[in-house]
Structure 1
Amino acid sequence: MEGVLVLSTKGRVFTNAVFGPVARTLVRAGVSPDAVTVTGTVLTVGVALWLLPTGHFVAGPLAITLVVLFDSVDGLMARTLGRSTRWGAFLDSTLDRVSDAAIFSGILLWAIDRDETAVLATALACLVLGSVVPYARARAEGLGLTASGGIAERADRLFVALAAVFAVGLGAPVIVLVVALALLALASLYTVGQRTGTVYRQTRADAQEAR
């Protein structure tokens, strides 16, 4: 889950400065980047499904953010070793989906317990559409096309969702979370549309060239 919350060059510099020594220490100890990837996912899932459903909306986002930031160590380790494998990229991307699902499922379970229908509906929409966004890209790439970009990249979705949860934990009304999740769902839907349009234009161009 390399750089999930690293949204700028300054953020990457900060991550390298803070976790670079940790990455080098783990490499010297013989720990593999894959082990860090799996461990980070397990911790994220555990924290998300433990703290969020029980309403720990301050401790939960903070703990998840720390785990996700630490999980950027796997990418730093790969660069330290001088090898970034296709297997590592596949594992990282696949487990990212598991972590994302756990976070939104945690919010969803809290909404069910508190009978917060609006949060339930918007969290479910984020959970479903959040899985379609990366699928659209992966399916396009599997066909030899490109479908990257969009306004709802993974880092953006997680940052907004966790920030809204944290705000509610500090006393903001639940409507803040509802609005944030609704906007995320709409952004995800728009991103799917963007990627679909990109693929359509590429296939149309291919068809015209074939004539």
Structure 2
Amino acid sequence: MAKIFQVSARAGMTRVVEPIARSLLRAGVSPNTVTVAGTLGVLVGAIGFGARGHLVAGALIVTVFALTDLLDGTMARMSGGSTRFGAFLDSSMDRVADSAVFGAVAFYLAGQGDRAGLAAALICLAVGGLVSYVKARAEGLGMTSNVGIAERTERLLIVGVGGLLAALVHPAALPIALWLLAAVSLFTVGQRMRHVYRQAQQVDAPGGHG
């Protein structure tokens, strides 16, 4: 059910993003430019606002610019497919943006004296990188690992909602969201490793295609 909702939500977002993507391409804007601009926007929202305690502004700015991850992919598809450098740039900028978001959250919670929340933020930072690494390593070995309940968009959404609720409802909402995110991120790592293990068993078996 969660996967069906995820696919449906992404399909809905794609219908919104496609007209914007066409307009940018007609204006001569490249997907790589959008990738870099989106990352800079996330950095401003995370470091300039979130780390300083402006949680609502930070969460909204990060969410808006994080959506460029979908926009640049749509632009690349419309313009004939992503280049090798474009794919490399997109993945690298995602890591920069994610590090900024969780680093800013950790900085803010440390300033609040919330050691439990700080620990959760650091776990999310580490495990988020591991989620991406498992996928990249699998693809480097000729397999796939594009599975899991907490991909990048979902991770940013969880921390963003936590930040908004912390500012508008109760400060405990952010640490709770981070611990939830840490749990689902670890589960996602397990899902991806299991998926790769099954593929590797087939490839490495006698008579396999390895």
Structure-2 separation of matches of 1:151 and 1:69: 18
**Residue 198 of structure 2 aligns with which residue?**
201
Q: Secondary structure at the match of 2:197?
A: helix
Instruction: Please give the residue correspondences for 1:132-143 in structure 2 after superposition, counting only pairs within 5 Å.
Output: 132-143=130-141
CA shift, 1:10, in A, is 5.0
Structure-2 separation of matches of 1:78 and 1:71: 11
Equivalent residue letter for 1:149: V
Percent identical among aligned pairs is 45
Q: Secondary structure at the match of 1:45?
A: helix
Structure-2 separation of matches of 1:112 and 1:88: 36
**Residue 128 of structure 2 aligns with which residue?**
130
The one of 1, 23, 26 aligned to 1:28: 26
**Residue 78 of structure 2 aligns with which residue?**
80
* 80 and 151 in structure 1: CA distance in 2 versus 1, 3 angstrom threshold: closer
* 28 and 125 in structure 1: CA distance in 2 versus 1, 3 angstrom threshold: same
**Number of aligned positions between the proteins:** 204
Q: Which runs of 5+ in 1 are unaligned?
A: 1-5
Contact 1:15 1:69 in 2 (8 A): no
Equivalent residue letter for 1:191: T
RCO higher in 1 or 2 (8 Å CA, sep ≥ 6)? 1
Q: Secondary structure at the match of 2:51?
A: coil
Structure-2 separation of matches of 1:11 and 1:183: 22
**Residue 65 of structure 1 aligns with which residue?**
63
**Residue 117 of structure 1 aligns with which residue?**
115
RMSD over aligned Cα, in angstroms? 2.2
**Residue 54 of structure 2 aligns with which residue?**
56
User: Which stretch of structure 1 is more off in the superposition, 81-90 or 139-148?
Assistant: 81-90
Contact 1:20 1:76 in 2 (8 A): yes
Runs (4+) of structure 1 moved beyond 4 Å? none
CA shift, 1:77, in A, is 2.4
TM-score by length of 1: 0.86
* 203 and 158 in structure 1: CA distance in 2 versus 1, 3 angstrom threshold: same
The one of 179, 183, 197 aligned to 1:182: 179
Q: Which runs of 5+ in 2 are unaligned?
A: none
